[in-house]
């Protein structure tokens, strides 16, 4: 297992693979992950004599064929090197976006028929990979190819100028297509295409459009999410789309440089879904980013085994790493122009940041998501059915404690790290926080409290007596070497714990100096699958949210941070608590006192 994460035999050789080479994508669409649903009878969808015989949630090949044929037979490329050529989708466009996005279906009880499984899609890739043409094609399909009566299709962009950029390629495509030109009407000055045949229209609206206008969208496309001020329009459209059987909300973007923006949150969520599609079965995610760290690179290797275009390192100047964030390289984007830009970018830091963001699709930000959940889950060892299950097994064992005291109004976390890598947590919170946290966890917070993973105490402020009593209880149950805590948060509590339990408390804090060593050790041990967290659901929720920060000039220094913008529902306290405990474990055991090992009688050497 260890070898898999450190080298990939076929790819680690220094032999350069020319990124220009045409890739043959072999995709078995039927094997894609999908929810296990047997609902719905035989599909029976037919196109060109091909009938789908599948049932339940499935990949419906004739439905996907229909969209691919719409592109090839009705559309032409509006501009660029392929201008006026039939829009035959590139293999990556066809097999990684269009076929799964339009071919995956699920039976809808509400509509009594099969509908598209994906109601939401996020596409994240570097600029100039044929985005506008692909978007325009999708919009036109939703407008007049999808069999939707009175379809309302909207495109949104931050500025009027940007909106024009989204609209123009679609208009060009219509003009160049005899079939569409005969069918669709372009209402000038309104940025509107109308299909009188089905009573449908496509319109471009500004990002600050009135969200109360009573839209009933069948399709909504948000271009360059990161330039949106907030998610108001997106949310309004999503809510309104509920009235359609298979509306599609599509966001397409390049990475942002603002780690706390609406766009960053959007991209991170898509990244999580790419990692774990079961997280949101209705959300289609296509994310192609050049990794910034070895951890991110290895995560890609795990998620996409044997993909030839995966990066081979984190070196932004190595051409072998450019194909992944630029799927259109060699087709829409020439390697020569990318090389020239790379040359210029090497000259200055700001140019380098631009190259990284727009050409390699990297988040040029000091704050990024830290843990990949597939690795976290691989460190469960066993799933504990109840909180007491693992406690009982570890009774009498040696461990190190970590305490992350939050404000009196919030969550406090206590972690115990055992010599064999097992981890136990306790969480306390005043019951008044449950409402807010339930909102952000879909009610799970209260479930966790009910099941004993979190201790809720009465009232608006945390009950420290309960914390002292629980810590003392753990002190009796386990052999706690010492407890590391954040000196900035809890001096009175420290004094009280020391007084009441007799435990040794060791100061730390969450600066780069103190956090870098335990975080590096944590990454190393997580990769080696040396932890056993027994699937603690609260800790998982926190691990999923924790971010890491590095100084701009030194990516090797780390500290954990909490995502801050409008995220009152995010908590990470269990992770710093574990890092404090990890810090203690790295210090090891204090040198044992001569009294403990040899007994009082030997002092002075007279008893022998
Ligand atoms: Zn089917």
> pLDDT tens digits, residue range 488-538?
777 788 888 999 999 999 999 889 999 999 999 999 999 899 999 999 999
Backbone torsion region of residue 459, taken as left when φ is above 0, otherwise alpha when ψ lies between -120 and 50, otherwise beta:
left
* Residues 113, 557: Cα–Cα separation, whole Å: 54
Residue 377 has a pLDDT of: 93
Ligand 1 centroid–CA 305 distance in Å is: 28
Ligand 1 centroid–CA 64 distance in Å is: 9
Instruction: Report residue 6's pLDDT band, with 50, 70 and 90 as the boundaries.
Output: very low
Evaluate whether 264 touches 285 at the Cβ level (below 8 Å): no
Residue 217 has a pLDDT of: 93
Ligand 1 centroid–CA 62 distance in Å is: 7
Ligand 1 centroid–CA 243 distance in Å is: 23
Ligand 1 centroid–CA 45 distance in Å is: 5
Asked which of 47-61, 471-485, 541-555 is least confident by mean pLDDT, the reply is 541-555
Convert 24-52 to b/e letters by CB count within 10 Å (16 or more is b). eeeeeeeeeebeeeeebeebebeeeeeeb
Instruction: Report residue 23's pLDDT band, with 50, 70 and 90 as the boundaries.
Output: low
Residue 231 has a pLDDT of: 77
pLDDT 10s digits, 434-482: 988 998 888 999 999 999 999 999 888 888 999 999 999 999 999 999 9
Ligand 1 centroid–CA 61 distance in Å is: 6
pLDDT 10s digits, 270-303: 999 999 999 999 999 999 999 988 888 999 999 9
Ligand 1 centroid–CA 25 distance in Å is: 22
Ligand 1 centroid–CA 489 distance in Å is: 58
Ligand 1 centroid–CA 138 distance in Å is: 20
Ligand 1 centroid–CA 592 distance in Å is: 70
Residue 21 has a pLDDT of: 46
Cα Rg for the chain, rounded, in angstroms?
28
Q: What angle do CA 386, 521, 540 make, to 5 degrees?
A: 30
Q: 């920060």: which residue's tokens?
A: 549
pLDDT 10s digits, 325-356: 999 998 888 899 999 999 988 876 667 888 99
Residue 306 has a pLDDT of: 82
Q: What is the DSSP string of 44-85?
A: --EETTEE---BSSEE-HHHHHHHHHHHHHH-B--SGGGTTS
Is 90 exceeded by the pLDDT of residue 208?
no
What pTM, to 2 d.p., does this model score? 0.71
Residue 367 has a pLDDT of: 76
pLDDT 10s digits, 377-436: 999 999 999 999 999 999 999 999 999 987 777 889 999 999 999 999 999 999 999 988
Ligand 1 centroid–CA 69 distance in Å is: 17
Is 60 exceeded by the pLDDT of residue 18?
no
Of 279, 272, 329, whose CA–CA distance to 303 is shortest?
Answer: 272
Ligand 1 centroid–CA 512 distance in Å is: 54
Ligand 1 centroid–CA 170 distance in Å is: 29
Convert 101-110 to b/e letters by CB count within 10 Å (16 or more is b). bbbbbbbbee
Kindly state the percentage of the chain with pLDDT values over 70: 89
All residues at 6 or more sequence positions from 573 whose CB lies less than 8 Å from its CB, including other chains: 404, 406, 410, 411, 412, 413, 427, 542
Residue 553 has a pLDDT of: 66
pLDDT 10s digits, 164-194: 777 888 999 999 999 999 999 998 778 899 9
And the tokens for 171?
């208009």
CATH architecture of the domain with range 373-587: 2-Layer Sandwich (3.30)
Ligand 1 centroid–CA 118 distance in Å is: 15
Ligand 1 centroid–CA 308 distance in Å is: 31
Residue 601 has a pLDDT of: 45
Is 50 exceeded by the pLDDT of residue 205?
yes
Backbone angles phi, psi at 24, to 5 degrees: -100, 115
Length of the chain: 608
Ligand 1 centroid–CA 109 distance in Å is: 16
Neighbours of 606 (CB within 10 A): 7
The mean pLDDT of 205-229, rounded to a whole number, is 77
In the chain, the N- to C-terminal Cα span, in Å, equals 52
Q: What is the mean pLDDT of the chain?
A: 86
Task: Domain ranges for the chain, please list them.
Answer: 25-289, 373-587
Residue 12 has a pLDDT of: 34
Q: What is the DSSP string of 467-480?
A: HHHHHHHHHHHSEE
Ligand 1 centroid–CA 66 distance in Å is: 12
Residue 565 has a pLDDT of: 53
Ligand 1 centroid–CA 54 distance in Å is: 6
Residue 299 has a pLDDT of: 92
Give the fold, CATH level 3, of 25-289: Rossmann fold (3.40.50)
* Residues 66, 146: Cα–Cα separation, whole Å: 9
Residue 25 has a pLDDT of: 66
Of 104, 46, 72, whose CA–CA distance to 284 is shortest?
Answer: 104
Q: Using CB atoms within 10 Å of the CB of residue 542, give its burial: 0 to 12 exposed, 13 to 18 middle, 19+ buried.
A: buried
Residue 599 has a pLDDT of: 46
Q: What is the DSSP string of 539-582?
A: HHHHHHH-EEE--TT-TT--EEE---TT-TT---THHHHHHHHH
Neighbours of 246 (CB within 10 A): 23
Residue 15 has a pLDDT of: 36
Ligand 1 centroid–CA 44 distance in Å is: 6
Sheet harboring 505-508: ordered strands across? 455-457, 423-430, 412-418, 398-404, 479-486, 505-508
User: Which residue would you say has higher pLDDT here, 603 or 399?
Assistant: 399
Ligand 1 centroid–CA 115 distance in Å is: 10
Ligand 1 centroid–CA 173 distance in Å is: 29
All residues at 6 or more sequence positions from 456 whose CB lies less than 8 Å from its CB, including other chains: 428, 429, 430, 431, 434, 449
Ligand 1 centroid–CA 55 distance in Å is: 7
């Amino acid at each position: 297992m260890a070898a898999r994460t450190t080298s990939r035999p076929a790819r680690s050789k220094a032999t350069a693979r020319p990124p220009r080479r045409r890739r043959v994508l072999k995709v078995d669409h039927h094997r894609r992950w999908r929810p296990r649903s047997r609902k719905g009878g035989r599909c029976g969808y037919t196109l060109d004599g091909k009938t789908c015989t599948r049932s339940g949630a499935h990949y419906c090949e004739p439905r996907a064929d229909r969209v691919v044929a719409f592109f090839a037979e009705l559309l032409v490329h509006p501009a660029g090197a392929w201008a006026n050529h039939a829009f035959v989708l590139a293999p990556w466009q066809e097999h990684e976006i269009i076929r799964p996005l339009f071919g995956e279906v699920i039976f809808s009880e509400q509509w009594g028929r099969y509908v598209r499984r994906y109601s939401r899609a996020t596409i994240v890739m570097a600029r100039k990979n044929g985005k506008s043409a692909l978007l325009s094609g999708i919009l036109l399909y939703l407008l007049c190819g999808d069999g939707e009566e009175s379809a309302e299709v909207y495109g949104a962009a931050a500025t009027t100028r940007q909106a024009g950029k989204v609209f123009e390629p679609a208009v060009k495509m219509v003009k160049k297509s005899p079939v569409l030109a005969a069918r669709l009407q372009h209402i000038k000055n309104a940025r509107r295409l109308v299909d009188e045949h089905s009573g449908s229209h496509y319109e471009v609206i500004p990002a600050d459009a009135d969200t109360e206008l009573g839209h009933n969208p069948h399709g909504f496309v948000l271009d360059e999410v990161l330039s949106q001020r907030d998610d108001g329009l997106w949310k309004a459209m999503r809510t309104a789309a509920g009235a359609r059987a298979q509306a599609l909300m599509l966001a397409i973007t390049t990475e942002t440089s603002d780690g706390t923006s609406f766009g960053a949150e959007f991209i991170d969520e898509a990244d999580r879904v790419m990692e774990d599609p079961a997280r949101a079965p209705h959300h289609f995610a296509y994310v192609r980013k050049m990794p910034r760290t070895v951890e991110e690179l290895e995560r890609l290797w795990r998620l996409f085994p044997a993909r030839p275009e995966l990066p081979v390192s984190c070196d932004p100047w190595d051409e072998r790493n450019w194909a992944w964030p630029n799927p259109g390289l060699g087709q829409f984007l020439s390697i020569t122009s990318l090389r020239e830009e790379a040359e210029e970018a090497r000259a200055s830091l700001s140019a380098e940041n631009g190259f990284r963001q727009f050409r390699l699709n990297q988040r040029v930000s000091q704050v990024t998501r830290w843990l990949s959940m597939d690795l976290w889950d691989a460190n469960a060892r066993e799933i504990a059915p109840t909180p007491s299950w693992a406690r009982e097994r570890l009774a009498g064992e040696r461990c190190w404690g970590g305490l992350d005291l939050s404000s009196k109004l919030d969550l406090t976390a206590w972690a115990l790290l055992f010599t064999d890598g097992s981890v136990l947590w306790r969480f306390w919170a005043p019951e008044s926080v449950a409402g807010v946290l339930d909102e952000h966890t879909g009610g799970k917070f209260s479930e966790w409290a009910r099941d004993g993973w979190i201790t809720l105490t009465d009232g608006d402020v945390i009950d420290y007596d309960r914390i002292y009593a629980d810590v003392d209880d753990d002190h009796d149950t386990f052999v706690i070497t010492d407890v590391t805590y954040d000196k900035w948060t809890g001096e009175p509590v420290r004094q009280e714990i020391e007084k009441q339990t007799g435990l040794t408390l060791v100061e730390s804090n969450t600066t780069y100096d103190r956090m870098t060593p335990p975080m590096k050790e944590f990454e190393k041990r997580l990769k080696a699958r040396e932890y056993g967290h027994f699937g603690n659901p609260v800790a998982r929720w926190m691990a999923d949210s924790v971010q890491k920060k590095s100084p701009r000039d030194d990516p090797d220094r780390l500290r954990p941070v909490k995502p801050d913008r409008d995220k009152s529902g995010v908590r990470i306290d269990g992770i710093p608590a574990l890092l404090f405990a990890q810090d203690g474990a790295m210090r090891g055991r204090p040198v044992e006192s001569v009294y403990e090992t040899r007994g009082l009688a030997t002092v002075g050497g007279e008893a022998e």
